[in-house]
């Protein structure tokens, strides 16, 4: 069992509004107390400034959902790591399966985004995960190992600076969670790969689970030896549910 501080990360995806964000953060602030884990909310880019203000003085960190691999320039619609830094962003999700799918992001692009975040002192939460088809074909290990391998040797940076998130695509937004043992088996594979790459750091790297984590299943998932936190979509939008997940992380 690892003893590192767990990380509970909410991924709001493309949800929120000025009024809704304020209401959600107000309830979180009121009830969060002193969490045993680190907590971050990864919000849509247009709300970074608003949520930065709402979180001031709270134990909740600010996160983003994507970052450009480019430092600046003619890349319409993109936002750079330096811009995220301007708003106090501490974590950024990279390589989420929705970006790999809808924006055709490749492992190479995910690695470049990881490097961009690291070079600005922002911790990337690098997502890996297999489709149901890949799982059924017995290809889970091959797929997640390939995705992790792409970010293991980011130039000039230590693997200990990243957070990994295992998100089986078949469990995202479907209500179908990986069983704790099923998730643990993949987390153990990822841990072994990290160990092979950097044995002195592997135990300290946080590997989050994501995919229909909720107030009911969080404790069992988070009790697994290689599950060091959660990346939570739908349940992070409902304050009592997110608070229950945070309470389950010790
Ligand atoms: P859900 O928790 O809604 O399944 O989403 C998981 C996810 O994709 C978090 O990044």
| CATH at residue 27 | 3.20.20.70
CA–CA separation, 185 vs 73, rounded Å?
A: 43
- Percentage of residues in the chain with pLDDT exceeding 70? 99
Calculate mean pLDDT across residues 190-219. Answer: 95
CA of 175 to the centre of ligand 1 (A): 10
Closest atom of ligand 1 to 165 CA is 10
Reply yes or no on whether the pLDDT at 1 is more than 60: no
- Counting the structural domains of the chain, the total is 1
Query: Could you tell me if residue 1 is inside a domain?
Result: no
CA of 140 to the centre of ligand 1 (A): 18
CA of 135 to the centre of ligand 1 (A): 18
Cα–Cα distance list, 131 to 77, 100, 139, 211 (Å): 28, 12, 9, 12
Q: Which of 96, 98, 109, 187 is catalytic?
A: 96
CA–CA separation, 78 vs 69, rounded Å?
A: 9
Reply yes or no on whether the pLDDT at 60 is more than 50: yes
Please write the tens of the pLDDT for every residue from 12-31. Answer: 999 999 999 999 999 999 99
pLDDT in the model for residue 3: 66
Ligand 1 pocket mutation, candidates 13, 44, 94, 170, criterion most atoms within 8 A of CB: 13
Q: Which of 38, 98, 130, 167 is catalytic?
A: 167
Report strand pairing: 7-11 vs 163-166. unpaired
Please write the tens of the pLDDT for every residue from 83-102. Answer: 999 999 999 999 999 999 99
Average pLDDT, the chain: 96
CA of 113 to the centre of ligand 1 (A): 20
DSSP assignment of 59-77 equals SEEEEES---SSSSSS-TT
Query: Could you tell me if residue 124 is inside a domain?
Result: yes
Ligand 1 neighbours, Cβ below 6 Å, are 11, 96, 167, 172-173, 210-213, 231-235
pLDDT in the model for residue 112: 96
Query: Could you tell me if residue 2 is inside a domain?
Result: no
Tell me the pLDDT band of 203, cut-offs 50, 70 and 90.
very high
Tell me the pLDDT band of 2, cut-offs 50, 70 and 90.
very low
Reply yes or no on whether the pLDDT at 155 is more than 90: no
Reply yes or no on whether the pLDDT at 239 is more than 90: yes
Could you tell me the two tokens for 126? Answer: 């690098």
Burial readout 1-20 (b: 16 or more C-beta within 10 A, e: otherwise): ebeeebbbbbbbbeebeeee
Tell me the pLDDT band of 217, cut-offs 50, 70 and 90.
very high
**Which candidate, 118, 17, 33, 3, places its Cα nearest to that of 69?**
118
pLDDT in the model for residue 157: 81
Domain that holds residue 47: 7-248
More confident residue, 10 or 176: 10
Calculate mean pLDDT across residues 62-91. Answer: 98
pLDDT in the model for residue 158: 82
26 catalytic residue (yes or no) = no
167 catalytic residue (yes or no) = yes
């Amino acid at each position: 069992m690892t003893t590192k501080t767990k990380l509970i990360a909410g991924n709001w995806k493309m949800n929120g509004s000025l009024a809704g964000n304020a209401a959600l953060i107000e309830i979180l602030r009121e009830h969060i107390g002193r969490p045993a884990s680190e907590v971050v909310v990864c919000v849509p880019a247009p709300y970074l400034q608003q949520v930065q203000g709402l979180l001031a003085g709270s134990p909740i960190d600010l996160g983003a959902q994507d970052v450009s691999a480019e430092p600046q320039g003619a890349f319409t619609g993109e936002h750079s790591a330096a811009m995220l830094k301007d708003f106090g962003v501490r974590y950024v999700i990279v390589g989420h399966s929705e970006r790999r799918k809808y924006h055709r992001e490749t492992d190479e692009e995910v690695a470049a985004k990881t490097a961009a975040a690291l070079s600005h002192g922002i911790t990337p939460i690098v997502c890996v995960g297999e489709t149901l088809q890949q799982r059924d074909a017995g290809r889970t290990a091959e797929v997640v190992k390939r995705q992790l391998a792409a970010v293991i040797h980011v130039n000039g940076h230590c693997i200990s600076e990243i957070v990994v998130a295992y998100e089986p695509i078949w469990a995202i937004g479907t209500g179908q969670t990986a069983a704790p043992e099923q998730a643990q088996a993949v987390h153990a594979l990822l841990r072994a790969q990290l160990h092979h790459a950097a044995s002195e750091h592997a135990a300290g790297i946080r590997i989050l689970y994501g995919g229909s984590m909720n107030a009911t299943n969080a404790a069992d998932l988070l009790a697994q030896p290689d599950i060091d936190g959660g990346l939570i979509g739908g349940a992070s939008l409902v304050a009592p549910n997110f608070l229950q997940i945070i309470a389950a992380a010790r």
